[in-house]
A = this chain, B = another copy of it.
Amino acid sequence: MIDQLAEINELFINGPRFYLQNVSVDNVIFGYHEKELKVLLQRPQTFTRWILPGGFIKKTETAESAATRVASQRTSLENLFLQQFKVFSKPGRNRDELYTADNLKQLTGWDIPPDHWMLQPFVSIGFYTLTEFSKVTTNGSFYMEECTWWDINALPALMFDHAEIIAEALKALRIHLVHFPIGYELLPKKFTLPEIRTLYETILEKELDDRNFSKKLLAAGIIEKLDEIKKIKGHRSPFLYKFNRRVYLDALKEGMMVP
């Protein structure tokens, strides 16, 4: 916490010395767990609306490192693979009636002049990633009262253009999903066919034919059947499968159509 406080002081006071100005990163961290797709949002203590986890880029790091750093400061997630998907640059995009010098002063205790660098226009580089949200512990940063998951279909009121950023990230995720396999980081080592199919169905918000779906993944060699079943009460127990890591990674590189 000391470190974090020191970093925040540095940010407010010495920001322009260490950080790039007029550019930020915003992370859309999608979390999946048991048929639900969620997004990680945070709310600064004194604000009534929510924001994406985001931050500024140090002069000594890439945008990707900045996005990864921001994500791991807010959550227990290390080494997330965050993917650039779009730059948002509409003039006025980071003006918001809540985001004023007064409110920032109230939030931080610092005296923020109206021309403070953080109140300047910013273009934001959007990143997204997909993770298993039950594994994530969120640690709200110093000024953040809350940092929690929200269902993708029931988002709270957001600040700035962050609703638009989430919408664009979802579009990007779905396009990505159709061309590349997903699931390696999201499912347990051993999983069932209904589990992986439901994952796809949840993200795409449409039903997939069970026969065709498994046929395709098996034919491609992406997943392999194990000699075990998962005990489930009340009905037939499903077989377990595992990813073939090599084929999976090849498909990631080369691309393939999935659903």
Interface residues of A, Cβ cutoff 8 Å to B: 20-23, 57, 59-64, 84, 86-87, 89-91, 121, 123, 125
Contacts and interface: CB of A to CB of B under 8 A. Distances in A.
A15 to B, nearest CB: 12
Given A84-B86, A84-B87, A87-B84, A23 B123 contact: yes
Contacts of A89: 57, 62-64, 125
Contact of A57 (B21, B61, B123, B125): B123
5 contacts: A23-B23, A57-B123, A59-B91, A60-B91, A87-B87
Q: Considering residues A22, A121, A125, which has the most beta carbons from chain B within 10 angstroms of its beta carbon?
A: A22
Nearest to A62: B89
Nearest to A255: B175
B61 A91 contact: yes
A87 B86 CA distance: 9
A60 B123 CA distance: 12
A102 to B, nearest CB: 22
Given A23-B23, A86-B84, A87-B84, A123 B63 contact: yes
A86 B87 CA distance: 9
A57 B84 CA distance: 20
Contacts of A123: 20, 23, 57, 63, 125
Given A21-B22, A123-B23, A87 B63 contact: yes
Nearest to A85: B84
A90 B121 CA distance: 22
